[in-house]
Amino acid sequence: MFVCSEIHNPVMLAEVLGALSPRTGCCYADGTIGAGGHSKALLGASTPKGFLYGCDRDSAAVQIASERLAEFAGRFEFRVSSFAELASWLGPDRCEGVLLDLGISSVQLNQADRGFSFLVNGPLDMRMDRRQSLTAASIVNEAPAAELARIFWEYGGERQSRKLANAIDRERKRTPFETTLQLASLVERVVPRHGQRIHPATRVFQALRIEANDELGQLKKGLDSAWTILKPGGRLAVITFHSLEVRAVKAFGRNLARDYTMEGETDIPELRRPKDPELKWVNSKAVVPTPVEVEENPRARSAQLRVMEKL
Ligand SMILES: C[S@@+](CC[C@H](N)C(=O)[O-])C[C@H]1O[C@@H](n2cnc3c(N)ncnc32)[C@H](O)[C@@H]1O
């Protein structure tokens, strides 16, 4: 059972609705249902006959959202799956709008037994999909030290990545890591705070979460899949929280927005063939939350919304 304080506040809700402008009789997909905040608003705004397909890798999220959206029964279909599977589920040209709101929800973060938070003790788990065998603990206890350093540096931007990986390697030979606080306290000992506002374990936990869930691999597949299910004229809205997610979304958009007829002489056959752009950016710059939203929901502070239209 979950309580109200654990419910996730949907980020940039008004901006998402503005971008997708849900209408009755149209079809939408939410690839990251979470606690169902955006889903609820999409269904409400497309009353009485809008339909929403939704998925989440986390079965608990699908259950919570289905219960919260009971008033819309008959107008949505949810399933436990990655957004990378949207195209194989729904097929091409199906929806007027698709939303991907990346990362984890406050519900997941606040539940100690999911192991996402370094502030509460729980198993070092971090799986969004609890059917998979790879956990944060298996990475921390089994990955070679050089691989751990790469993960901390690439996905967390942790400057002391090697020092930290070596300290973990020494410690795990004595006592394998099992809990979130065990890892957080080692990080605190090895990487002192030096007056920084953020907890030193923030970067390490983020990096392990990205690795454990293959978030960047899933995102690349998910963008292709979401694009496939969009009808021409439909819009894809993506909310990112991390610079590597931003990079993947920009690269995806740039590639499809490219007008190959503009290419100069080239020996590459694909570039010689005239090809019109498939995508138009709805806003040239990312939309960010208002200061009021960040004040009310600090989790929104690094959010960026990008919206693309299928031509
Ligand atoms: C930021 S929350 C979404 C919150 C949601 N928009 C709301 O209003 O409550 C992100 C959700 O996406 C899910 N998720 C992350 N990666 C996913 C993927 N590849 N496929 C499906 N769901 C994913 C997470 O399990 C989490 O529930």
Q: Is 153 helix (H, G, I), strand (E, B) or coil?
A: helix
pTM: 0.94
Give the CA distances from residue 102 to residues 56, 196, 276, 283, in Å, rounded to whole numbers and listed in that order: 11, 26, 29, 19
**Between 268 and 286, whose confidence is greater?**
286
Distance (Å) from CA 155 to ligand 1 centroid = 18
- Show Cβ contacts of residue 138 under 8 Å, excluding neighbours closer than 6 positions: none
215 membership: H or E segment, kind and range: helix 215-229
Please determine, for residue 77, whether its predicted confidence score (pLDDT) is greater than 80.
yes
d(Cα 75, Cα 42) in Å, to the nearest integer? Answer: 11
Start-to-end Cα distance in the chain: 44
Q: How far is CA 73 from the centre of its chain?
A: 26
> Nearest C-alpha to atom 2 of ligand 1 is from which residue?
105
Residues with CB under 6 A from ligand 1: 8, 10, 31-32, 34-38, 55-58, 61, 82-84, 101, 103-105, 128, 218, 222
Cα 32 to ligand 1 centre (Å): 3
Question: Which of 7, 30, 56, 242 is the pocket-test mutation for ligand 1 (most atoms within 8 Å of CB)?
Answer: 56
DSSP reduced 3-state for 300: helix
Is pLDDT larger for residue 200 or for residue 117? 117
Kindly list the distances between the CA atom of residue 60 and the CA atoms of 53, 56, 123, 128, 307, in Å, as whole numbers in the listed order: 17, 9, 17, 9, 28
In this structure, which residue's CA is closest to atom 10 in ligand 1? 104
Q: Per mean pLDDT, which range of 144-148, 170-174, 261-265 is the poorest?
A: 261-265
Distance 28 CA to ligand 1 centre (A): 16
From the CA of 81, give the closest atom in ligand 1: 21
| CB 101, CB 10: distance < 8 Å | yes
Q: Which of 97, 285, 282, 124 is nearest to 209 (CA)?
A: 124
Q: Is 30 helix (H, G, I), strand (E, B) or coil?
A: strand
Higher-confidence position of 194 and 306:
306
Q: Which atom of ligand 1 is nearest to the CA of 8?
A: 9
- CA–centroid distance, 31 to ligand 1, in Å, is 7
CA of 194 to the centre of ligand 1 (A): 33
Query: pLDDT tens across 90-149, in order?
Result: 999 999 999 999 999 999 999 999 999 999 999 999 999 999 999 999 999 999 999 999
Average confidence score pLDDT of the chain: 93
- Token code pair at residue 27: 């079809």
Nearest to 55 by CA among 88, 20, 82, 94: 82
- For 50-76, the pLDDT digits (tens) are 999 999 999 999 999 999 999 999 999
From atom 12 of ligand 1, which residue's Cα is the shortest distance away? 32
Q: Which of 294, 308, 172, 171 is nearest to 249 (CA)?
A: 308
How many other CB atoms are there within 10 angstroms of residue 160's CB atom? 18
Q: Which atom of ligand 1 is nearest the CA belonging to 37?
A: 8
Which ligand 1 atom lies nearest to the CA of residue 83? 20
pLDDT band for position 266 (cuts 50, 70, 90) = low
**CB atoms near residue 119 (< 10 Å):** 14
pLDDT of res. 194: 72
DSSP structural state of residue 31: S
pLDDT exceeding 90 applies to what percent of the chain? 87
pLDDT of residue 6: 58
User: pLDDT (tens digit, 9 = 90+) per residue, 203-218?
Assistant: 999 999 999 999 999 9
Per the omega criterion (within 30 degrees of 0), is the bond before 10 cis?
A: no
